[in-house]
Amino acid sequence: MTTIRLPGAADIHVHLREPGETHKEDFASGTAAALAGGVVTVLAMPNTRPPLTDPTAFREAVQRARAGARCEVGLFVGGTPENPEVAAALAPQAAGLKLYLDATYGPLRLESLAAVLGHFKAWPGHRPIAVHAEGRAVAMVLGLAALFRQPIHFCHVSRREEILLIRRAKERGLPVTCEVTPHHLFLTEADWPRLGPFGLMRPPLATRADQEALWANLPVIDAVATDHAPHTIEEKQSPHPPPGVPGLETMLPLMLTAVVEGRLSLEEVVRLVATGPRRIFGLLEPPETWVEIEWGGPWTISREGLFTKCGWTPFEGMVVRARVRRTVLEGRVAFEDGEVRALPGSGRVLFADPLRQPGASLQRQRCRCGNDSQGGERW
């Protein structure tokens, strides 16, 4: 087997379900899954219960993240028709503003153009407005980006027409970036019969032609992000299964297997999962941080040994040629050979604390608190 070292990945689109739905995931379990997948930085979405749309809910989420996170976490603030000024006031503490313009999971969705305009006018623009926009909503947002010159980040682009519109916008110099998910790169609607409710997500799986358009336009795509959105097996098998799939632990093995298959280069993977995401949101790379990847295999993706609380993956049974052996975060082994060694509360909460945001001192408060059950030290 061959081992290589890569920068720690940054996943700029995850749902950690805390507060409100911690039976699906929480900061401790979600960041454990991240470290097991070679991800050292995650940006969490605001469609929690309650949603992160006001100072009280945002502060509670920050406190929960400080208590539970094992790696770097940043939090988005969510947009509602009533909160443009409130959201803008939270901008210094937030990873960005998230606007939901199409059907999604949770209580946040902007139905009117007036509500969207309110946020485009109020948001200070030092970090992007991230949008869930599908189909013609993509064209609307591009028009607003041109009018307001607001930096816009398109989440989980999945359709041929969408990526071609974004490509044209970039060629015209508009301040837009975009991401795609592993499930839209590696699965299509042809997988629905096999996956059943476990293949239900937003945006839904697309056609083979849509998938091929994403691969053909990789140079236009700024990041691969998982849209890690866990639900329990029981919820997925219920009469009304919620949309969303987990992905933190499988992103790197899948992308690196595509390198082995000649679909993209190793340099492109690093751009898509590490340097590109950090550039979009102004995230510094943590010092003394890397991921050790084992090449060879073959290994078969399984639900056994997953750290996400939901305990399943839509990629179960797929064969990969790379796996994460070790994740080192700021000089400490955070994950190694199937064991998460970083403790809950050892992670940094980005932006929220002026003493701990990117660009400030990277010195952690460290304390020797003995070993945890998995052999890790409190750090």
Identify any residues that bridge with 175 across adjacent strands, giving them in sequence order.
none
Contacts of 274 (CB under 8 A, 6+ apart): 6, 7, 8, 9, 10, 285
pTM: 0.93
Q: Is the pLDDT of residue 164 over 50?
A: yes
Q: Please tell me the distance from the alpha carbon of residue 375 to that of residue 379, in angstroms, as a whole number.
A: 12
pLDDT at 375 exceeding the cut of 70? no
Q: Three-state SS for 80?
A: coil
Per-residue pLDDT tens digits for 243-295: 999 999 999 999 999 999 999 999 999 999 999 999 999 999 999 999 999 99
- Answer yes or no: is 364 within a domain: no
Consecutive H or E run containing 178: strand 176-180
Name the more confident of 366 and 72: 72
pLDDT, averaged across the chain: 92
Contact 347, 72 (CB under 8 A): yes
CA distance 138 to 162: 7
Report which of residues 377 and 196 the model is more confident about: 196
* Residue 353 pLDDT class (50, 70, 90 cuts): low
Distance between CA atoms of 89 and 45, rounded to whole angstroms?
A: 18
Residue 57 domain-assigned (yes or no): yes
| 373 occurs within a structural domain | no
Q: Which helix (H) or strand (E) holds 165?
A: helix 160-171
116 assigned to some structural domain: yes
State how far the Cα of 235 lies from the Cα of 246, in Å rounded to an integer.
14
List of E strands, 188-269: 223-224
Residue 131: give its domain's CATH number.
Answer: 3.20.20.140
The pLDDT value recorded for residue 103 is: 73
pLDDT > 70 fraction of the chain, expressed in percent and rounded: 92
Tell whether 345 is covered by a domain: no
104 inside domain? yes
Q: Is residue 356's pLDDT more than 50?
A: no
Rounded to whole angstroms, the Cα distance separating 282 from 59 reads 22
Q: How many domains does the chain have?
A: 1
The long-range contacts involving 120-124, CB below 8 angstroms and separated by at least 24 positions, are 120/144, 120/147, 120/148, 120/150, 121/84, 121/148, 122/84, 122/85, 122/87, 122/88, 123/84, 123/87, 123/88, 123/91, 123/97, 123/150, 124/88, 124/91
Domain span holding position 138? 2-340
Residue 283 DSSP symbol: P
In a domain, 347, yes or no: no
In a domain, 93, yes or no: yes
Mean per-residue pLDDT, 208-226: 98
- Looking at the chain, how many residues does it have? 379
Q: What is the pLDDT of residues 111-155, one digit of tens each?
A: 999 999 999 999 998 899 999 999 999 999 999 999 999 999 999
